[in-house]
Amino acid sequence: MGWLEFIAAFAVFFLSHSLPTRPGVKSRLTAAIGARGYTIAYSMLSLAVLYWLLMAAGRAPVVPLWDWAPWQNQVPLIAMGIACTILALTIARPNPFSFGGAQNDRFSTDHPGLIRWTRHPILAALAIWAVAHIVPNGDLAHVILFGTFAGFAFLGMRLIDRRKRREIGAEWDRLRSELRAGPPFHSPASLLDLSIRVILGILTYAALLHLHPALFGVAPYLG
C-alpha cells in the first residue's frame, strides 16, 4: 500500500474528526445514542483511526531525513513523562479557557493549577508528544505525521482562544488578567486530589512504556 495507505489514513482521520462534530450530524447522533454514547463512540473511533494512521506511517516507504542515534530515544522518554503529568493534573478539571473542562463555573484564579502556565493543557500535551516523537523518527512519513499533529496543537490553541473569547467576552480578559497578575505558583486546592492525579499520571506513563512494544513494535526504553 505504501504512500496510498498513509494518505488514506490521513484523509479518514480528518474526516472522522470533522463530520461527526458538525452540529447537524452531532445532534442526530446524540439523539440516537445519547450524549454519553456519542462521547464514547467518538472517542473509540478517534483512537482506532489514530492507531491506523500511526501504523500506516510505519508502513510507508522510508525516506530518511536524518540518521538515528541512541540519545534520541531519551527525548520522548522524558517528554512523555511531562505530557502524562500535564494530562493527569488537568483532565476533568475546571477550565473555562479551553475544551475538556468540567464544572467550569467552579474555576478559581486562586487555585488555577497548570492553567496558570497554559490555557490549553490537553493541546500542550499533544504538542509535546508530537514534537518529542519527531526527534527519533527522522523519516519523511513520521515527520509529516508528527509535524502535522504539532501544528494542529499550536493552531488549535489560537483558534480556541478566539472562540472562547467571543463566547464569554469580557470574562475571558478578566480571568486571563487575574492569572497573569497572580503568583507563578499556587498552593493546590486539595492535596489529596493532587496526590491522586500525580499517581495516575505515573501509572499512565508506566502503562504506555509497557504497552508500547506490543502496540507499536518499538521499545522506547532501548537504545
Q: Each residue of 47-102: pLDDT tens digit?
A: 899 999 999 999 999 999 999 999 999 999 999 999 999 999 998 889 999 876 77
pLDDT of residue 64: 96
CB proximity list for 181: less than 8 A, separation 6 or greater:
none
Report the C-alpha gap between 99 and 157 in whole angstroms. 10
The Cα–Cα gap between 88 and 90 comes to 6
Whats the size of the chain, residue-wise? 223
DSSP 44-76: HHHHHHHHHHHHHHHHSPP-BSS---GGGGHHH
Which is higher by pLDDT, 117 or 100? Answer: 117
Q: For 125-165, how does the pLDDT look when each residue is reduced to its tens digit (9 = 90+)?
A: 999 999 999 999 999 999 999 999 999 999 999 999 998 89
Q: What is the pTM of this model?
A: 0.88
Express each pLDDT in 20-61 by its tens digit.
Answer: 777 788 888 888 888 788 878 888 898 899 999 999 999 999
Q: Please check whether residue 81 is in contact with residue 208, taking contact to mean a CB–CB distance below 8 angstroms.
A: no
Neighbours of 214 (CB within 10 A): 8
